[in-house]
Each structure stands twice: as structure tokens, then as C-alpha cells.
Structure 1
């Protein structure tokens, strides 16, 4: 797979793009040459797991190619999401609007793809567009104006995935991260309309649960011991919602499905596996290679499990989780390198915006957790790096508070397209040129998906440059307040600390201001409606010909 990508890069020689103009663009001044846009987004990639941000994993599990983007352009040190959940985050990113405005607040909700979004507006104004990889909004990109699309089914599979196209559904053999890379570079090199600027939406499944590395990386971190967060054994004192979640690595992770633990010494059968179809997709050869990679480690665990304490087993599970999670990221980083190498080899670097981000952050053992959802820093934050040599100075660092609703207006302004007034995000173009002295000083967040997997209660909140205030409101009425300068790991809920009474009062007023600014409906509407869910069509219903026997 990797050899195919390399040969594709070497073989591709592209001519200079000639960019068409559009009458719709006459309202604002046009750049001399409209940029191509490559938007690379992974799923559940924690900022801590990107070595450009430094930290305790930078040397143990580096991401040199993602770091190249930061080095060539800008690293955002205060990048956040509106809702730390896959589908809602994607909808916010595409539309530049919060979920209560774009109509997508929780996974499984139906989304109106015809509303203004940056891929549609780019295509309307002379761009050729595509999406390849994970989609996870509706089953297909209905309403979106992509000239070409190849997407994974729902969450997608790591091995031999189902691919959905306009023609139907088919299984293709290979490792999904590599396949997304190959398909993306092939589209740029062979399939796109080269008379137009292009926009590629490249969405990786990795490193989403259940963290299955590529065959070449299954043993990558076999002998690495990762540092354990100080709050791995958090007791959640003073944080009611945190105490009720079910996303703890050593209590809630599936021993088979998530941690690849086997049933005994010499055995290859996984323990409890809530989605056995994923492992079943491996070919016999792939399965043999997989079992060999894990056999010694699993045999050691099985031989010692009876004598280990609960704490020792919890620490073993943490190491297994980290080994697999970070190994899946290695393939993503290699993919980014392939894209950057291709652009350089074909003289496309200077006029191409390349973005790398994740749909949200993720817990890597902090508070004992995996997954996301909470407004705590590890899942609220997301990595964001961007290069655009024609307009962004290399080595730029932005500390201002940015959010994923800002991507759409930024891309549109760089492309010379008027930003729809309904978009709630802010263009970062002036911020990136150092000319914006009136940037936002606080962020609004709202999580809606409860009751649901992992039992994270609905909550909303505000964060500024030092403080955070959250309100958990469904089946509870609990407020939490944190002084992030003194308590960066959010262990001490200071909501009742009299020293912060004025700040808490100020932030409660700021929540009301932001809710008015973003036109958030009264809470009673959410509670009364209880987010009525409408069933989405199935693959079999959409593509019956793909399932004929």
C-alpha cells in the first residue's frame, strides 16, 4: 500500500492550475490565485498526542509529519470544539454554526446537507471538490456538492472496510488509513478537474476506538512504558457528573474489543467483544499476523493476572490502550507526510492550504478515561495546525481562543468567497496576519447526547483565558468552576469557593451573553422535546443492489 502511494507521488507531474472566476465573487476583492484546500481530519486525536505541542509524549511517540505543517505554517495553542462528539463536531466544522443552528446535536440525527457549508460554496464558485474517508454525519453526503466521494460506512473499519460511493457499497482489501491516503492522492493526481482549484476533504477513521494499528505498527510500542497521568485513579470528589460516567479504561473498556486481551495463555480468542465483526473482517493471513504480534504480551498478562492487584491490572490496561492508540496515529502521521511530499514534488505547496486537526480531543488516561464528550480540557481541546506558504508565516503560533466553527469562514475568505451572514464562526485570516486586535475572549460549549453511551450528562459552559464554568443540567443540577491557571487538570471544583464568587457571577452572565449572541434556544425546549430521534435509512435501503445474493 505504502509503495503504491510513493510511486503515485513520483509519477504525478501536475501543470500550474488556472483558476476560474465567478460572478458570485465580485462582492469582495479577489486574491491573485485562489488556493487549493486539503482538509485532513482524524477522529479522536488528542492534542497531547501531537509532538508539535511538546509534552510528555513528544519523544516517545513523535508525529514528525504533522509537526511539519506547524513548522511550515501555524500552530494553534488554544483550539477548541463546540461539542466534543464526532458527528456534531463535523457539522459545526462544515457549516460554521453551532448544532442548535445547523440541526445536528448528536450522533444519528439527520442532517440537512443543502444548507450553506464551505464545500458547497466552494463548488458553487468554481472549485472541484471531493470527500474521501470517514463521513459520519448522514449515511451518505446527501445535499453536499462533492464532485466525487468515497466514504466509509458509519464508523468505518480498520481492516478491509466497506466503501460507499454513488454506485453502491463494496469491500476493499487493505488497511483503512493507507487506503484513504492512496485514494486521496489518486484523486488529486488523476481524477480532479485540473482547470479548477481543488478542495479535498480527507477524513481518517484513526485513531477512533477500537485502536487497531496497521500490520507494520502492531509492535511499534511493545517495549515502551508510557507515563501514567497523575489523576489516572481519580476519585471524582466534588464532580457528580464525572463520577457517573462509564468511560473508565480499567472498568469500562471492553477487554476484548478495546484492549485485545485473550482468554488464556496460548489462546487467540478475544475476551468480551461488543463488535466482533471488526476482528472477523481480517483475512486468515492478517489474523495470523495479528495474533503473532500480540501473543507474547497477552500470554504474559494471562499468566500473571491472578497474582496482580486491581491497581496492577489497571496500569497494564493503560499501557495496552496507549500502545494501540498511539500506534494507530503513526499511520495517520505517515499519511500526512505522503500528502506533503506529493505537494512538494508537484509544485503545489505554496498555493495549497493544508490543515490537520481532529474532530475533537480525547482522553489518554486523564481522570482514568478514554473517549471524549466532557467539556474538560482533554476533549474540549483539539489539535489544529495549518500551512499556506503564500499567506501564513512559517513558525507562527496563535494563542487566541479559536473554535471549529471558525474553519468555514476562514476557508471562504481565503478563497475570496463572501461569508454567509448565518455563519457564527469568525474568519481567522486577519488573526493569522497579526491584524486582528478584537478577537473573542470566551468560548461557548454545549453537549446534548444523553442518555447515551458512556453516560456523560448534558451540559453547557463557558471558558475564557483562565476560568471555566460548566452546568450539568439533565437529571441533575450541578455547577462546576475551575481556575485553569491553578488547577489545569480540573481536579478541584471551586464552585463554592468564596474567593471566586465574583468570577462565577461574571461567567454566568457571560453564558447568557453568548447564548443570546448564538441564539441558543431556552433550555426548556430541549428538555420538553428530549431530542426526538428520527431513524436514518440503512445501507440496504439506500443501495439494495449491493446486497443481492
Structure 2
């Protein structure tokens, strides 16, 4: 009887998604994928940066102190994907989605404290199985303070947790051995990346995953880039001031005076404009790294044939909606820069306007390697889009974020982002949802959720959102034990708590 009951409970848990990670892999755990009729597998260089917001690219001219000549070079000679997003704007969940092609509710890495399940398969394992040399160099950061080599990589260089821009006692883990960190982390990781490519086996294709610490807070630029933007002026976003948003949720108004708010950032009196300029100075080091990688590929005669993809793991807010950091479903949080370069495949100046995401990276790389994409993955290959081909594509992208006890200011949310609208649905709070017409309101300041003329849109997007969650077994909210401390203070001299919204108030009758 007990065995029957346990079996029944196991079925219930699997049905409700609690153990979904054991279901999202190839049958019998196989790492062998069917091959396509594509030409020879190509070399792949994937460069991932931390907290790089979508508009922090020099050629977009959003701030005078954003200067990225090497990233501009990638866009000019390759493809720019202006509508690239992450499905969860948080380091570990986003990185797990990149590696697995899965939404966070399926891979279950929903915060920065819990490691990825051993049952999950990374795209690097499939590439390794088919004969690729694979390298992971840089930030891993998926739960826990460890830097041990992970499955799917022949060459490994990493550090514990967030790591450090400057040398510190933990140092680096190079292929399982502790090695001192010698210098500025962005430069040193690039050195290792070039060393891997220089000493690779020339008779096999390779996949290099260069995962920078930059530009994660607290931003520390290299000595050569310090104060390079000292004379520049920060242009604050239109939604930074109190009262700049129509029908803003209470939680959002209250977060202004918190760890992630402009009135009490990191529980300090931080100057947001100065902070953004230091971010830009730190980004200059990442841009220089990209230039070194491109120059090496060119010198070796591989630049024309190698697919180089650059993206951020999530965005970052510098005052938008009165906030800093990420986590929310607003554009500057969930939208990221994405560039792709491979002259043999991509025409210079290509612009891909379709909504692509981090869950699409794994399928794309598998197709580049001449492998058929596993049907269990949530993402799709955007290689045809890079090549200028027409392909049926998604009409809406799911976004999800799960409340963290460590940062309790931001609630659990799910959102649906289409080419025109964004619908944000909150869970567990007494507040309002949100709807934005991105065509007429790109800054997301006019919440249309209660507008009579948009109720059809609201109802349709609500249905589509829950359809996606139902289809991907996402109707359960992952729950983990408490880890880490809470950043939950408010400034007594800061803005007071928001008033309860009038549309929910009655006179008592």
C-alpha cells in the first residue's frame, strides 16, 4: 500500500511539474542527435556578458558615454537583433536557459542560490558528443560557491560565484586546478580564450563559451578605462521621476525606496548617473575583449567561417521606473543586446526584427553543428533568420520571475511580450497587473490594463500566457529553502509607501 501511494504521489508531482527536470532530456538519456543535411559543422564563439542592457551599444547613441567600437563592428559586418530577450532577467536562470534551451520553470534554476540539476543536458554535451572541442571560460554562477569543471566542456576556466574584477584569494579553477588570478578579470579571461583557440586540435570544430564577469555590479573598470567618461552627462530616463507613470503598481512605487530603487540604491546614496558612467567604463573592457577575439579569428583565417554570437544574460535599469538592477518584466530588464557574425552565412548589416530569446541559443548552435534540435527544447533555432530566410516564428514570448526572499521587493510575475504589446500578470500580491502598447508607449509609462478599449487585448494575452504555461508544464511555482540574507530595508527619510489605488476602494456599501 505504501509503495502504491508513493508511486501515485510521484505521478502527481511529475504531472504538476515539480520534478520536470527528469523529463526534459533525450529518450534514455542519449546524447546522440540525428544529423541534418547541413554543410560541415562550423566553429562557434559565444560571448556572454553580465547585465549588459539592450541599448548600451555605441551605434544606438543612447548616451554619449556608451562607446563600443568592436561591438559596432560586429553589427555592421553581421547581424543586429534588436528584439532579443531573456525569459528570466536573473543571472542563474538565464544562463541555465541558454545552456538547456528551456524556460526556468522547466529547468528549475529559478534563483541564484540553487544549482542546476544533474539530470539536465547542456547544448555543449551534444556538441562534445558529435566531435566538437568545447571550452567554458569565465562566469558559471549557477547556485553555490563552486568553480569545479562542469559536464560538456573539455577546457574549463572559472571562479567561485560572482568572482572578482581584481585578483583575490580564491583565484581561478583551470581544468580542475587552483590557479592565482593575475590581473583584471576581463583581460585575463580573454587571454585564456585565445590560448584555447591557439592550442586547439585543428582537425576538429570547436565551441568557445566566453562568459564575462563584466559588466556585473559593483562595476570596476580597468586602469586604462577609469574616468574616460568623466566629462559626459547622464540623460535620465523619462520614467525615473515620481509620478511619471500612469497607474503604476503599488509594489513598483514602493520599490523606489529599497535596495533596488533610485531613492535608496543598495541601501546607500549612490548617484545613478555616476554609476552608469562607471558601468560604461567597465563595458569598454568587454568591448576590447571582443576586438581581440575578432582579430585573432581574422589572423587565423577563421573570421569568415566562424559563427560569433554576442549577448547579455539580462538587462539592467539605471532609473527606469524608479529602479536599478533587473528582475522585472520591463524592457530595460528583460531585453538584451544580441549580435551575430559569420560572413559566409550572414550578410553585412542584417537586421533580424523577430523576437528571439536566450532559450533559442542552444537550438541555434545545434543547427549550426549540423544536428537536429531535440523536440523537448522550448527554444527554436534562429539560424534561418540570420541567413535572411523566412520561417514561421513565435507570436509571443513568455517571461517569468519567481519571488526571492533575498530580494522581497519584486513579486512573482509572468509576462507575455509580442511585437506590439506586453502583458504582465502578478502572483501573490494585492495590486494591479499591467498592459503596455509598445508601439505608442516604448517607455512603458501608460498602463492600459483597465482601459475599456484594450480589454479584448488583455483577455487574449491572458489566455495565450496561460496556454503557454499549460503546454510547458509551468502551472506550479518552484519553492526552495531559505538561503542567504535579506536586502529588505527602507530609508525613513525616503518616499513614503504608496497610497492604495482608488479603483480598488469603495465607500463601505
Aligned to 2:266: 253
2:56 maps to 1:56: no
RMSD: 2.1
Q: Secondary structure at the match of 1:478?
A: coil
2:401 maps to 1:395: no
Structure 1 residue ranges without an equivalent (≥5)? 1-22, 260-316, 536-549
Matches within 5 A, 1:69-80: 69-80=74-85
C-alpha contact (below 8 Å) 1:126/1:196 kept by paired residues? yes
Which residue among 354, 372, 384 is the counterpart of 2:326? 372
The separation in 2 between residues aligned to 1:28 and 1:320, in whole angstroms, is: 51
Aligned to 2:276: 322
C-alpha contact (below 8 Å) 2:147/2:159 kept by paired residues? no
C-alpha contact (below 8 Å) 1:177/1:205 kept by paired residues? yes
**Normalised TM-score (structure 1):** 0.77
Which residue among 148, 153, 157 is the counterpart of 1:150? 157
Matches within 5 A, 1:136-535: 136-138=141-143, 139-140=146-147, 143-161=150-168, 162-190=171-199, 192-235=200-243, 237-245=247-255, 246=258, 247-255=260-268, 259=270, 317-453=271-407, 455-476=409-430, 478-520=432-474, 522=475, 525-526=476-477, 530-532=479-481
C-alpha contact (below 8 Å) 2:78/2:339 kept by paired residues? yes
The separation in 1 between residues aligned to 2:116 and 2:236, in whole angstroms, is: 39
Instruction: Report how far residue 47 of structure 1 moved.
Output: 1.2
Cα shift readout 1:454-497 (whole Å, capped 9, x = no counterpart): 62111001111111111111344531111112221111222111
C-alpha contact (below 8 Å) 1:451/1:457 kept by paired residues? no
| Greater displacement, 410-419 / 81-90 | 410-419
Q: Secondary structure at the match of 1:48?
A: coil
| Residues 1:141 and 1:358: Cα distance change in structure 2 (over 3 Å) | farther
Cα shift readout 1:290-331 (whole Å, capped 9, x = no counterpart): xxxxxxxxxxxxxxxxxxxxxxxxxxx122112211100000
Cα shift readout 1:375-403 (whole Å, capped 9, x = no counterpart): 00101101000011121111100111111
Structure 2 residue ranges without an equivalent (≥5)? 1-30, 485-509
The separation in 2 between residues aligned to 1:373 and 1:517, in whole angstroms, is: 24
Aligned to 1:302: none
Instruction: Report how far residue 86 of structure 1 moved.
Output: 0.3
C-alpha contact (below 8 Å) 2:368/2:383 kept by paired residues? yes
| Residues 1:156 and 1:201: Cα distance change in structure 2 (over 3 Å) | same
Instruction: Report how far residue 498 of structure 1 moved.
Output: 0.7
**Which structure carries more helix by proportion?**
1
The separation in 1 between residues aligned to 2:128 and 2:46, in whole angstroms, is: 15
Q: Secondary structure at the match of 1:225?
A: coil
2:79 maps to 1:125: no
Instruction: Report how far residue 226 of structure 1 moved.
Output: 1.9
| Residues 1:516 and 1:351: Cα distance change in structure 2 (over 3 Å) | same
Which residue among 6, 24, 47 is the counterpart of 1:40? 47
The separation in 2 between residues aligned to 1:56 and 1:407, in whole angstroms, is: 27
| Greater displacement, 408-417 / 483-492 | 483-492
The separation in 1 between residues aligned to 2:118 and 2:339, in whole angstroms, is: 26
The separation in 2 between residues aligned to 1:325 and 1:432, in whole angstroms, is: 30
Q: Secondary structure at the match of 2:324?
A: coil
The separation in 1 between residues aligned to 2:201 and 2:223, in whole angstroms, is: 35
Cα shift readout 1:184-237 (whole Å, capped 9, x = no counterpart): 1111113x2222111111011111110111111111111111212222223465
Aligned to 1:301: none
C-alpha contact (below 8 Å) 1:136/1:155 kept by paired residues? yes
C-alpha contact (below 8 Å) 2:148/2:176 kept by paired residues? no
Instruction: Report how far residue 79 of structure 1 moved.
Output: 0.6
C-alpha contact (below 8 Å) 2:57/2:72 kept by paired residues? yes
Q: Secondary structure at the match of 1:375?
A: coil
**Normalised TM-score (structure 2):** 0.83
The separation in 2 between residues aligned to 1:376 and 1:337, in whole angstroms, is: 31
